[in-house]
Structure 1
Amino acid sequence: MTTAVKPTGPDRQEFSERLLKGSVKKSYEPVVDIDWDAPLDPDKFFLPPRTVSLYGTPLWDSMTRAQRIELSRQELVNTLSAGIWFENILNQALLRKIMHTDPTSRSTHYALTELGDETRHMVMFGKAIERVGAKPVRPRLYHRMIINTLPFFFRGSVLWVAALIGEEIFDSLQRQMMDDPELQPIIQRLMRIHVTEEARHIQFARDGLRKRTPKMRRPERWFVGNVNGLGGWFFRYLFTNKVQYARVGLDARQARQMARTSPHRHEVQVAGFAPLAAFLDEVNLMGPIARRGWARTKFL
């Protein structure tokens, strides 16, 4: 005879209760918790220089400090714009999920709390784009059509993997850059707020995935473990979006090619993806096709 092994650690409801208590203790209202009237320092960057896509390339070496700062501003705006559209997708997917869950459960209550956080983040990103005096990078029509379709596919394990891909890479990079002395103070504050609240969202998604993976059937495990490799192609497109180079007056095609082949940029991307890569390995959701995709896009 064998004895069933009881899973260690808190169950989903207990874990959600912990996150709810953490949200009560430490949450922000960016409209009032950021000094939007604070002046911008004309000699400071909007992203730390080492995280700008062209850093370490011959093109970067040929640019003036003012041009480098402007590129950091446009890359920040590009990233914040993508953050707004991703939060939109995640919120739609969470709302659809909540429709089929117990409205009295702690996990539902935390999902609703996360929705509130994300809507405030969308406002924060929008205000930041306006404050730095730039225009958002709007998705094209076919991009918007895809964005509105994705929530229908973000279900079960796919939802949690998508949430981690969309949140954890940004979170990891922000943790590395938010204390950089060359960064605009208003952006430092934005990143600190985002990192604090996203830490709970990442824990919620990781816990959801940890509890689902042991119950996955082989076809689902294979699909989820390999489809996540598409994230590398998405971020490759995002981080080297030609719009940000064109707005600075650079040859967009040349700049994108130089960024994509930059050894330093490869190191930055690997460092940003490392925590998520380790987690996907831990839960056996880094399949061979996904691994190839992340490697080809220079995240592994």
Structure 2
Amino acid sequence: MINDLVLGTMYFGTRTDRATSFALLDRFVEAGGTTLDTANCYAFWVSGTGHGGQSETLIGEWLRANPGLRERLTLATKVGVEPLDGGGVEGLGPETVRREAGRSLERLGVDRIDLYWAHGEDRRTPIEETTEALGELVGTGTVGRVGISNHPTWLVERSRNHARARGLEPASALQLTTSYVEPRPGTAVEGKDHRFGWVTDETIDYLERNDGIELWAYSPLVQGSFDRDDRPFPAAYDHPGTTARLAALTEVAAELGVARSQVVLAWLLHRSPQVRPIVGVSSLEQLEPALAAAELDLDAATVARLDQPA
């Protein structure tokens, strides 16, 4: 299932230097990986300039250093959260969507974005206007398909309905955060500022009733909390459901002789509906276990045991 694993490149070109980023991209592709996820705003908060674009620029440099490789890859990038000099973020107005698509293409050095995400909701702009701008990009061949990240489900459906009514390409991917354990409902999680960035039961129900929509998950390993004692789960995860799930996870990991985080990635890939995990790594030592996890085979009994821990 290596093709279903997504390499997150958020810090490529900033925290992760050029040589390391190139090595990670090389190894991911060598192992059979094909999908890269970035954004026009990555990573403005550590860039020193207050603006993003470093990740896209580095991927573009890597592609130029590897001619002929681009056609084997799926390139996904995002628009909507890049900061403005006067404060606030760019949003999802039609002109912004069109302009930033062009800038992303230039930084990546390509003529097509395979999957273009509306990164975060913009209540200042009617979703219909954003949907039409994205659909136009698909119509011109600039974008292959459309995704929506960190939006409430009702806005996703409103966008998809509008696209269908106008004969445009509807969104066919959602990007949210989820993992094997979840925080208590209604509890704030430190560092997570997207109100509608979480997979919920409603999300799963929506996916089960709408074939053809992929679910991509960012932060699937909760910043290393499954394996690292120095990174405990945030307080919001402290509840009986987490206790039961961690017990089942620990048993399965021990039986398979792998780390708990590897079982989490494998479970996401084997569950129904499937979740495509985005793995954000900063070293080959972190990447290798993720690649191995994508090849880990969980039988139906094991998946069921993880789904419904005693």
Length-normalised TM-score, structure 2 = 0.24
Between structures 1 and 2, the one with greater strand share: 2
Structure possessing the higher relative contact order (Cα contacts under 8 Å, 6 or more residues apart) = 1
Task: Looking at secondary structure, tell me which structure has more helix per residue.
Answer: 1
